[in-house]
Amino acid sequence: MKKILSCIIAGFALVLMGCASGAKVSSSPAEIEAMDNLVSSRSFEITAQWARPMPSQALNSISNAGMLPNGSNASRVDINGNGSYLRVIGDVVKADLPFFGERQMSGGYDQQRTGIQFDGVPEDLQIEANSKTKGYTMRFSINNGTETFQVVAQLFPSRSSTFSIVSSHRAQIRYEGRLSEYVEEEE
């Protein structure tokens, strides 16, 4: 009985140590400096790769019917390659993102604008250093004429990013993507 109890306690201790000693991502001074320069330039974009919608029965039904892209499920949708972005250009923020989830309010009948889209000067744009991640936290709210969005983004020195959008008309959604310098395309 003592051996069994000792094995259980030892196993429990190993599990606790494993959880507490997870690999911490460290950033090099060069990555941190590049991140600082990128953010201070106020000319960057996050290219969204994954959408993380709030779980719902309707989304589960769509997933079970096989209507999501390959490799996706109801809680993580692959949006690589569809041009989804969140941009900061000076004092202006722009976004064109697909939306997966439920609407709480009607949003008009424009079939071309089913995703999250905005372009303008946000209210209360804040980009603050985050000492815990060595990156930045960006917050703002913006209105596109029919809907108001609250955005919170985490910008990491590894050039990965996550951001969440809370809408006045839709369920909350999160995105994951890659951070890069924004270079305006010449037409």
Ranges of each domain in the chain: 28-181
Of 147, 149, 175, the C-alpha closest to 162 is 175
Q: Which two tokens stand for residue 4?
A: 């069994």
Q: Which two tokens stand for residue 124?
A: 């209360």
Walk along the chain (187 residues) and give the pLDDT tens digit of each residue: 555 545 455 554 444 444 444 445 578 889 999 999 999 999 999 999 999 999 888 888 888 888 888 888 888 999 998 899 999 999 999 999 999 888 776 555 555 567 999 999 999 999 999 999 999 999 999 999 889 999 999 999 999 999 999 999 899 999 999 999 998 876 5
Give the pLDDT of residue 104. Answer: 75
Cβ pair 84, 47 in contact under 8 A:
yes
Does this model's pTM top 0.75? My answer is yes
Give the pLDDT of residue 185. Answer: 75
Of 88, 105, 112, 179, the C-alpha closest to 148 is 105
Give the pLDDT of residue 22. Answer: 40
Q: Around Cβ 70, how many Cβ atoms within 10 Å?
A: 6
Is 131 in a helix, a strand, or coil? coil
Give the pLDDT of residue 101. Answer: 84
Residue 83 DSSP code: -
Query: How much is the CA Rg of the chain, to the nearest whole Å?
Result: 20
Give the pLDDT of residue 184. Answer: 82
Is 41 in a helix, a strand, or coil? helix
Class for domain 28-181, per CATH?
Answer: mainly beta
